[in-house]
Structure formats: C-alpha cells, structure tokens
Amino acid sequence: MTSQPPIAKRVPSERVHHGDTVVDEYAWLQNKDDPETIAYLEAENAYTEGATAHLGTLRETLFDEIKLRTQETDLSVPTRKGGFWYYTRTIEGKQYGVHCRRAVAIGEVDPPSTQHGAPLAGEEVLLDGNELAAGKEFFALGTFDISPDARWLAYSCDFDGDERFTLRIKDLLTGEVLADEIPNTFYGSAWSADGSTLFYITVDEAWRPYRVWRHVRGTTAAEDQVVFEEPDERFWVGVDLTRSEKFIVVDVHSKITSEVHVIPADQPASPPRVIAPREQGVEYSVEHHGHRFLILHNRGAEDFALAYTSVDTPGADWTPLLEHEPGTRLLQVDAFARHMVISLRRNGLTGLRVMPFDGGSSYDIEFPEPIYSVGPDANPEYDTATFRLHYGSLVTPESVYDCNLETGELTLRKRKPVLGGYDPERYEQHREWAIAEDGTRVPISLVCLRDTPRDGSAPLLLYGYGSYEHAIDPWFSIARLSLLDRGVVFAVAHIRGGGEMGRRWYEDGKLLAKKNTFTDFIACAEHLVKVGWTGTDRLVARGGSAGGLLMGAVANMAPDAFAGIVAQVPFVDALNSILDPSLPLTVTEWEEWGNPLDDPDVYAYMKSYTPYENVADRAYPAILALTSLNDTRVLYHEPAKWVARLRATAPDTKVLMKTEMGAGHGGPSGRYDAWKEEALVNAWVLDLLGRAS
C-alpha cells in the first residue's frame, strides 16, 4: 500500500484525423503485454487499497449486511419442460449456482415448493458451477442448452472473463462429458429436433459473432461446417430454437437493421432460408406459431407493430395483427399454442398484454404499484395455458408469478427472501420529472426511507445509463438497503438514449443528439436539488459501461453538480476506440455513435464530449473508477488513460481506480466476490456523504 498516487509516464503519441492533430500521451497503456502497464495498474490498486484502508471495518459491515439479508441456500422456482422441472440452487458458502432437474410426478401440475431452499427429492444435478470453477480465479457460464429429448446438455465456460467460451456436451443419461470440445465460441446455441446436431457461434478477431456452425454430436470440431457467415462488420449473428421446436432461427442484426433466416429443426442439414431480406433501418424478429411466423417489426412503425406471414412463403406480404400505436413500444412477442403475450413499454413503465389466438378479448396484466418492472420469465413450453413472469420494484423484491392465460389470474410462486425482518412499509417510492434544456420532461424514479426530509439535507445516489435503447427499469437490491437505512436516497434518471419512453427517446439520445443524454442527467441532478431531495454537496452519481461514459461526460460538463462519481468499466475513451476498427465492437458501434473515421462532423461532435479528450485543469468531484483487465467490451485502458490524465491535468482531484486483474466486463464472477466489490463502492459513497458511521 502507498499514500502517494501513482503518476503514469507520458509518452506523446500523435494522431491526425480530418486535419486535427491530437497528442495522446497515455496511448502506451493500451499494451496489455507491457510489464509497465501491469505495474501501473497494480500501483493504482495499491494506492486505492491504501486510500480506502480506513473503510475496512465499514466494508466488512456492509458485506455482512448483504450476506445476512440473503438466503444463501436457495432455490429458483422450477420451470417445467417436458417431463422435468428445471431449477438452479445456491448453497451457503458457495460462489456459483448448481443447475438441477427433477422428474415431474404423475398428476403434478404446480411447481414444487422452494420455500426453504432445500434440494428437491429425486434431484439430478446437471452442472455444478462450483466444481467447474474449482481452482479458477474467474468462471462464467455461456451456453446452457438442453436438447428437445432432454438427454443432451450443451454448455460452455469462460475462465478468464474475456467472453471466449469452450463448448462441451454432456450425456445426461450417463453423466459422461463427450469428447466433443469446441474452443472460442460465443453465447448462444440451438439443438436440432432429434438432438443429433448442435448449432453454435464463433467470433471474428474484432470479437464480433459472425459465423453459425453445425456440429454433429460425436464428431470433432474440425469436421464442423459453417452454416451462415456474415461479412458485413456492422452485423452480429445469433442462433436459437423456437419455442415450438420446429425451427432453428439465425438472427442477423446491426443496431438498426435485422435479417432472419430459419432452418427446419428436423432437417438440420438444410440451408438457412431468409424470412425477409435486410432493409436498412428496418428491424424485425420472428416467433413461430403453427402455419405462420409472427413478425415484430418497425417498418413504417417507429414503436413497432405486429404482423404475420406464412411459414411456406414468408417473403410474401406481412398481414397486420397489431397496429402501430405511437407511444406504446412493443418489445417482444411470446407465442404459445393458444395465446401470445406481448411485452411492451408505455408511459415509462413495462407491461404485458395477453392476446388469445381464438379471437377472444385481449387484456393487460395489471399491477398495483406506481413504479415497477415486469417481463417474461422462463417459458419453454409451447402447449401451455400458463405464462411465467418476473416482477419487482424499488421496494418489492424479485417476484415470480404464474399467470393463467385463460383467466388472467396471477399466482405468486416465489418472492426473493430478504432476511432480517425486511419491511417494505419502511420505504417509499416516488416519481419526479425534470425539465431538460430543450423542455423535454425526463422521468426520475426514487426510493428512500419513509418521511425522508425534503429540505435538501438528505444524501442521494443518482444512477444513469442512457444508451442502446437499454432501459433502466426499477429494480430491487439487497445491497441498496444498506444505503437506504443510513438515510441515502436512491434515484434513477431515465434519460434519453435509453428506451424508457419508446423508440423516439432512444433516437433523441444517440449519434449527433448524444449530448441530450448528458444534459438530461445534469437536469435530473439539478431538479433533485431544486425540489429539496438533496444538495449538490451530498449528491453522488453512478453509472457503468456506456453509463460510465455518461459519468465522465457530466464530470466535465457540470463538475459542481456532484460531490462524487462512481464510474464502473467506463467507456471514457470513446473517440479513440470508435476511431479504431480493429478494436472489439467498433464497427458495430458506428450506428450508435456515428463514424468519426469517415465523417468530420461526427468526429468533431464526439471530440466535444468524450471524457478523455475533455479533461481540464478544473475542480472535479471525487471519482472512483472500476475496471477489469480482461474486459472485451470496454477495454481496461480507457479508464486507465482517463485516470492518468486526470492525475496529471487536475492534480487536486481525489481519484481512485481499482482493476480486477482476472475478470471481465461484469467484474468479479463469484457472488461473494461481487458483494465485496459492492461493499467497497457503497463504503466509498457513504464516506463521501458523511454517513460512514
């Protein structure tokens, strides 16, 4: 440990784009194999450890609070598929889940009780993450896919955090792991109808999933055949099996354009057949139902509409099934034998609409809370009258319901236990609306102790993201209770660039409108101060990944609005990364941020907001940055360069950086390790806000 912050060496490196010469003195940190790079990261870790040593007791207390409130030995609600109930167990003291199943008993309709978290009688362990992770610093499961006949399990593991998985096949009848072993695969797989063939995905050198392969069980990877290859670097490829188990779906999509191909699941050697050729700007997804494909699309429908087309001639006209309704964003369609369920978003909240196929009346599933999040859960059965959904809010723990599709009746199967006498009545939720620079109303969700004063004295943690149409819907957090119980208000700014208010909300926060994301967040912070929720000296902002870009941008644009900033795996060197097509994800990102390599206007616009380019000698709020050495989505060098420049340019800034030396984009993989990191963040926040005691 050291009391002096590390100072990175400066090695000027020039780049010129569109006549603009820029000196990047910390570009050398991009060399992960350079011992000096590792030494610098380790020095930062040592400095952070020393600078937070006084929080050791608080960190332990916060970790213990998470642990004591968590039912460590627990069981997910079993999901029926065919003749089995499938579920995952956690065990006290173990980092990872255990994947299991149990045969359905004769006459059994409802899922077995999971109240006490004990293993079910007759349990069959399919995969134990703790055994797979033994001796490893990191472990993540990618694919977990059981064949239609319930005999074969395809699973893949990553032991570094770089999201490169090795795929294997297990015989669930004998317990044998086959010799089939396929390295460097991506998420996603699909079995043929008879379980003889497995489809999987690999990535190119830029980490883009671009090839679908066909693997015949029992053969070697060298014998596998490419089924589909996407040459356009803007597009990603996915593969899945329809719920009906009739078709393998090859999904090809960029940020704004889609193309879907299908293969009959009982004819795995057949070539893929396109549903509709790609059309720039048109997105669509496919769900199979009987003699037709359901098409969720945005062709002439900004917030999406639902149509159907014939399985035999899918390229023909699409027949409307649910017309476009501006302001109601259709997100997903789940088709079953007699019903379909539409996931949607309206007025900043998620919803579910049930539509019978027999012409009966449709209905929306209703919930009583003013702020909540609801969506589909696991629903693998096609011929069913039950729909499983998950529900939660800022005060209601994660809940699993079964909905009777015929009657709309909801049955609560499980609410995540919160030990220690948790009482939701101690807390209250609020919805505020900030006014952005251009007059747009921006929603804010808040949770706090009941009767929290509105005189500006309460500390507040404001979370934000605002990219990729990803909505930050209200969610429950056990770790957050430690903040709330110490009087901290927690708020989420539902800013443009996200998807909370429909497709237009997203469009107005990307490309050359990206600054709306940042100014919306600042407007939310200012509103919360103005109406008395907090004060600028007791307001901390937090965001990760693209939300980390948000953190860096608002630190430059409005440093006086915040007392502190937590930036996790932050995309703070966005311009340099988006200028380099050889880096992971860059080309696919051009439809989100613009292409600064070819467009001088995009270059100038990005340069005007990207955090690393705009660090200046000013008074910054305190900053805590967290990153991971093996992150392939936001490379570690982005926060490393940012912190190095902050130290050199604004030396009075209290900035700390912690690098996980054996993890990826999601940070530590084990649940206890993740709790420890959350305890560090929350301890730092509480200390900054004067609530550490």
Q: Which of 360, 395, 417 is the last residue of a domain?
A: 417
Does the active-site annotation cover 285? no
Question: What pLDDT does 138 receive?
Answer: 92
When divided into structural domains, the chain yields a total of: 2
Judge if 568 and 669 occupy the same domain: yes
Between residues 678 and 119, the one the model is more confident about: 678
Q: Is 356 among the domain residues?
A: yes
Q: Is 351 among the domain residues?
A: yes
pLDDT in tens, 33-61: 999 999 999 999 999 999 999 999 999 99
Q: Is 540 among the domain residues?
A: yes
Task: Report how far residue 512's alpha carbon sits from residue 514's, in angstroms, rounded to the nearest whole number.
Answer: 6
**Domain region containing 343:** 320-417
Q: Tokens 């390229």 — which residue?
A: 315
Beta 539-544 vs 564-568: how paired, if at all? parallel
Q: Which of 467, 545, 628, 669 is catalytic?
A: 545
Q: Identify the band that residue 168 occupies on the pLDDT scale cut at 50, 70 and 90.
A: very high
Return the structure tokens found at 338: 């007699």
Question: What pLDDT does 2 receive?
Answer: 59
Judge if 410 and 459 occupy the same domain: no
Q: Identify the band that residue 316 occupies on the pLDDT scale cut at 50, 70 and 90.
A: low
pLDDT above 80: residue 116: no
Q: Which of 394, 417, 440 is the last residue of a domain?
A: 417
Judge if 656 and 682 occupy the same domain: yes
Q: Identify the band that residue 452 occupies on the pLDDT scale cut at 50, 70 and 90.
A: very high
Are 200 and 217 contacting, i.e. CB atoms less than 8 angstroms apart? no
Judge if 391 and 462 occupy the same domain: no
Average pLDDT over residues 97-102: 97
Among residues of the chain, what percentage have pLDDT more than 70? 100
Q: Which of 417, 437, 455 is the last residue of a domain?
A: 417
Judge if 516 and 605 occupy the same domain: yes
Among residues of the chain, what percentage have pLDDT more than 90? 93
Judge if 355 and 429 occupy the same domain: no
Q: Identify the band that residue 207 occupies on the pLDDT scale cut at 50, 70 and 90.
A: confident
Average pLDDT over residues 329-345: 97
Q: Which of 678, 611, 668 is nearest to 643 (CA)?
A: 611
Average pLDDT over residues 596-616: 98
Q: Is 236 among the domain residues?
A: no
Judge if 466 and 578 occupy the same domain: yes
Judge if 626 and 583 occupy the same domain: yes
pLDDT in tens, 59-83: 999 999 999 999 999 999 999 999 9
pLDDT above 90: residue 308: yes
pLDDT above 90: residue 631: no
What is residue 145's three-state secondary structure?
strand
Q: Which of 289, 573, 665, 669 is catalytic?
A: 665
pLDDT in tens, 501-548: 999 999 999 999 999 999 999 999 999 999 999 999 999 999 999 999
pLDDT above 60: residue 300: yes
**Rg over CA atoms, the chain:** 25
Task: Report how far residue 34's alpha carbon sits from residue 32's, in angstroms, rounded to the nearest whole number.
Answer: 6
CATH number for 441: 3.40.50.1820
Q: Which of 162, 251, 377, 631 is catalytic?
A: 631
Q: Is 112 among the domain residues?
A: no
Task: Report how far residue 332's alpha carbon sits from residue 318's, in angstroms, rounded to the nearest whole number.
Answer: 17
Q: Identify the band that residue 481 occupies on the pLDDT scale cut at 50, 70 and 90.
A: very high
Q: Is 168 among the domain residues?
A: no
Long-range contacts of 87-93 (CB under 8 A, 24+ apart): 87/114, 87/120, 89/117, 89/119, 90/117, 90/671, 91/130
Does the active-site annotation cover 665? yes
> Burial code of 295-328, b = ≥16 C-beta within 10 A, e = fewer?
bbbbbebebbbbbbbebeebeeebeebbebeeeb
Q: Is 173 among the domain residues?
A: no
Judge if 427 and 389 occupy the same domain: no
pLDDT in tens, 228-263: 999 999 999 999 999 999 999 999 999 999 999 999
Average pLDDT over residues 578-591: 89
User: Average pLDDT, whole number, for the chain?
Assistant: 95
Average pLDDT over residues 361-369: 93
Task: Report how far residue 10's alpha carbon sits from residue 51's, in angstroms, rounded to the nearest whole number.
Answer: 24
Beta 98-103 vs 124-128: how paired, if at all? antiparallel
Question: What pLDDT does 647 receive?
Answer: 95
Judge if 444 and 573 occupy the same domain: yes
Q: Is 73 among the domain residues?
A: no
Judge if 593 and 447 occupy the same domain: yes
CA distances for 371 relative to 348, 435, 443, angstroms: 9, 20, 11
Judge if 639 and 554 occupy the same domain: yes
